[in-house]
């Protein structure tokens, strides 16, 4: 009799995905928020978290691993000062 063992499906959290993306870097490296967002969206296209939330997670994890963070994820239009 053949019995197939059930394999549990691993449901990665967003924090796991961020940690996995950061694992490719070392302490002292500088991380681009744009590149990290791209890597996260590529690894989990169903991720519904906002860019702002993901950047928050990236910063917390990167700083904890003594990495620098470059905030380059906003478009040029969003970086321009608003004149009212």
- Where in the chain are the domains? 14-73
DSSP string, 54-71: HHHHHHHHHHHTT-EEE-
**Residue 4 backbone dihedrals phi, psi, to 5 degrees:** -90, 125
Tell whether the torsion through CA atoms of 35, 19, 64 and 57 is positive or negative. Answer: positive
| pLDDT for res 9 | 47
pLDDT tens over the chain, length 84 residues: 555 555 454 557 899 999 999 999 999 999 999 999 999 999 999 999 999 999 999 999 999 999 999 999 987 666 556 555
pTM here is 0.74
| pLDDT for res 7 | 47
Buried b (16+ CB within 10 A) or exposed e, 6-45: eeeeeeeeeeebbbebbeeeeeeeebbbbebbebbeeebe
| pLDDT for res 11 | 58
| pLDDT for res 79 | 56
């Amino acid at each position: 009799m053949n019995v197939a063992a059930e394999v549990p499906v691993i449901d990665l959290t967003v924090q796991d995905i961020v940690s996995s993306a950061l694992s490719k870097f070392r302490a002292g490296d500088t991380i681009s928020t744009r590149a990290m967002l791209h890597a996260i969206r590529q690894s989990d296209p169903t991720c519904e978290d906002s860019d702002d939330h993901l950047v928050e997670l990236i910063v917390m994890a990167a700083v904890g691993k003594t990495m620098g963070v470059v905030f380059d994820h906003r478009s040029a239009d969003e970086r321009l000062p608003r004149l009212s």
